[in-house]
């Protein structure tokens, strides 16, 4: 089954999930990564470059099932807690504590484990789509993940089982060297003996193929370690360019930039999709609150969905930014008219005409309310 996706979504295969997360982490960005691989839909919430929360629409990744898989909850306890969840609408974790099945500390630990598993599962995707929305967010869940993003990326790659993905990401002819930050980064991990041997062969001369040849073990696991170390920038290709970080970040952020959102919102507005355009313009306003035109088009979208009071507030904000734009006053006057505030509308149309005596729309609207 295929799904029609928003134009902001990019093909995950073209960007590689570990590199997407690393770019966001490197630049300390705050926002949400939206991911789709039908029928799965997931979101990763990132604050200052750190993954703090994740959600999934997959039933097998909900808290209750997660606890069942970990052996922390019995089946009969699961069904009893679900019955109460549907009856009361409370958080599942709160119900489990009230029933005495788990302690609050155990629930917090389970939620963190659940978040981590949701993120790690995405590393196994061979394809999918994503976009990164750089904007503040609000989540109601009090528990936050406290794992380091770099550590999660390393663990995620170690769970990958697609050889083509790893092979394409790290060609056998690649010569690797330790990065300037390798000492600090490598301290984040606990390496086993094999991983230690792999790191010992990274000298700026050996190719990936040379390292595989000199080690007698699981070659796929060796490739995973090399790819993981490369993804978290502990080791780098000898021809690595620092600008590649900026290129990746620009690529994943382009679709959610204010200008891109404005363009997309305008297209939706002109197509008569006013609810959708309102949502897009809200994002643009959040990212760039000082652009009067973003507020204006948001207001126009709201007018067309009959949300006149909110449209009024948004137009007033646009006028605060551009106080001598007669079009903004004209639209505000029309909103007042629709709300039955005729005197206010008249004064607003008058002001628009003082700014621009040739504004026919304001003149016609003013004549209409004075008949």
In tens, the pLDDT along 191-234 reads: 888 888 998 999 999 999 999 999 877 888 899 999 989 888 88
* pLDDT score, position 243: 46
With pLDDT > 90 as the criterion, what percentage of the chain qualifies?
44
Q: 82 and 37: one domain?
A: yes
Backbone angles phi, psi at 177, to 5 degrees: -140, 155
Query: Cβ neighbours of residue 344 under 8 Å, at least 6 residues apart?
Result: 333, 336
User: Is the residue at 251 inside a domain?
Assistant: no
Whether the Cβ atoms of residue 50 and residue 142 lie closer than 8 Å to each other: no
Whether the Cβ atoms of residue 252 and residue 23 lie closer than 8 Å to each other: yes
With pLDDT > 70 as the criterion, what percentage of the chain qualifies?
93
Q: Average pLDDT, stretch 168-183?
A: 84
Q: 116 and 14: one domain?
A: yes
User: Is the residue at 140 inside a domain?
Assistant: no
Q: Average pLDDT, stretch 170-178?
A: 88
- Report whether pLDDT(244) > 70: no
Q: 239 and 270: one domain?
A: no
* Tens digits of residue pLDDT in 340-360: 999 999 999 999 999 988 888
Give residue 260's Cα distance to chain centre: 16
Q: 20 and 115: one domain?
A: yes
* pLDDT score, position 255: 56
Q: 33 and 86: one domain?
A: yes
* pLDDT score, position 252: 60
User: Is the residue at 69 inside a domain?
Assistant: yes
- Report whether pLDDT(160) > 60: yes
Token pair of 15 as six digits: 């960007």
Average pLDDT of the chain is: 87
* pLDDT score, position 77: 96
Q: 125 and 219: one domain?
A: no
How long is the chain?
371
- Report whether pLDDT(1) > 80: no
User: Is the residue at 139 inside a domain?
Assistant: no
For residue 345, what are the domain limits?
Answer: 256-370
User: Is the residue at 3 inside a domain?
Assistant: no
Q: 21 and 121: one domain?
A: yes
Q: Which residues of 250-274 are buried (b: 16+ CB within 10 A; e: fewer)?
A: ebbbebbbbebbbebbbebbeeebb
* pLDDT score, position 246: 55
Q: 298 and 269: one domain?
A: yes
What is the band of 118 on the pLDDT scale with cuts at 50, 70, 90? Answer: very high
Least confident among 18-27, 180-189, 228-237, 280-289: 180-189
* Tens digits of residue pLDDT in 42-91: 999 999 999 999 999 999 999 999 999 999 999 999 999 999 999 998 88
* pLDDT score, position 249: 58
Q: 214 and 168: one domain?
A: yes
CATH of residue 365: 1.25.40.10
Q: Given the DSSP bridges, would you call strands 129-133 and 31-37 parallel, antiparallel or unpaired?
A: antiparallel
Q: Which of these three, 133, 157, 172, is where a domain ends? A: 133
- Cα R_g (the chain), whole angstroms: 27
Q: 283 and 349: one domain?
A: yes
What is the band of 32 on the pLDDT scale with cuts at 50, 70, 90? Answer: very high
Q: 233 and 262: one domain?
A: no
* pLDDT score, position 284: 85
Q: Which of these three, 179, 212, 243, is where a domain ends? A: 243
**What's the predicted TM-score (pTM) here?**
0.65
User: Is the residue at 144 inside a domain?
Assistant: no
- Report whether pLDDT(241) > 70: no
Q: Which of these three, 204, 222, 243, is where a domain ends? A: 243
User: Is the residue at 142 inside a domain?
Assistant: no
Task: Give the span between the Cα atoms of 219 and 196, in whole angstroms.
Answer: 15
Report how many domains make up the chain.
3
Q: 169 and 237: one domain?
A: yes
User: Is the residue at 250 inside a domain?
Assistant: no
* Residue among 143, 32, 127 at smallest CA distance from 93: 143
What is the band of 313 on the pLDDT scale with cuts at 50, 70, 90? Answer: very high
């Amino acid at each position: 089954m295929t799904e029609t996706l928003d134009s902001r979504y990019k093909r995950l295969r073209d960007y590689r999930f570990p590199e997407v997360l690393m770019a966001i982490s490197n630049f300390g960005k705050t926002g949400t990564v939206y991911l789709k691989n039908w029928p799965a839909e997931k979101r990763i919430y990132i604050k200052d470059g750190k993954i703090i929360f994740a959600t999934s629409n997959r039933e097998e990744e909900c808290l209750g099932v997660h606890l069942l898989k970990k052996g922390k909850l019995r089946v009969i306890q699961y069904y009893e807690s679900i019955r109460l969840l549907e009856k009361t609408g409370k958080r599942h974790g709160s119900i489990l504590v009230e029933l005495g099945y788990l302690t609050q500390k155990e629930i917090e630990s389970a939620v963190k484990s659940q978040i981590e598993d949701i993120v790690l599962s995405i590393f196994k995707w061979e394809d999918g789509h994503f976009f990164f929305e750089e904007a503040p967010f609000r989540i109601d869940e009090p528990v936050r993940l406290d794992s380091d993003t770099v550590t999660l990326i390393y663990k995620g790659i170690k769970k990958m089982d697609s050889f083509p993905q790893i092979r394409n990401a790290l060609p056998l002819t690649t010569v690797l060297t330790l990065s300037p930050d390798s000492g600090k980064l490598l301290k984040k991990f606990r390496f086993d003996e094999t991983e230690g041997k792999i790191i010992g062969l990274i000298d700026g001369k050996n190719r990936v193929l040379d390292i595989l040849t000199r080690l007698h073990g699981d070659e796929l696991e060796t490739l995973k370690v090399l790819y993981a170390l490369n993804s978290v920038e502990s080791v780098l290709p000898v021809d690595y360019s620092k600008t590649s970080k900026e290129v990746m970040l620009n690529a994943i952020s382009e679709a959610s930039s204010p200008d891109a959102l404005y363009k997309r919102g305008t297209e939706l507005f002109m197509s008569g999709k006013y609810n959708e355009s309102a949502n897009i313009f809200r994002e643009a306003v959040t990212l760039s609150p000082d652009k009067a035109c973003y507020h204006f088009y948001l207001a126009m979208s709201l007018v067309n969905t009959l949300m006149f009071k909110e449209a009024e507030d948004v137009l007033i904000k646009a006028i605060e930014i551009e106080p001598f734009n007669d079009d903004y006053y004209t639209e505000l006057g029309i909103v007042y008219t629709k709300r039955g505030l005729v005197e206010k509308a008249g004064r607003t149309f008058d002001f628009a005409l003082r700014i621009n005596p040739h504004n026919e729309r304001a003149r016609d609207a003013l004549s209409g309310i004075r008949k």
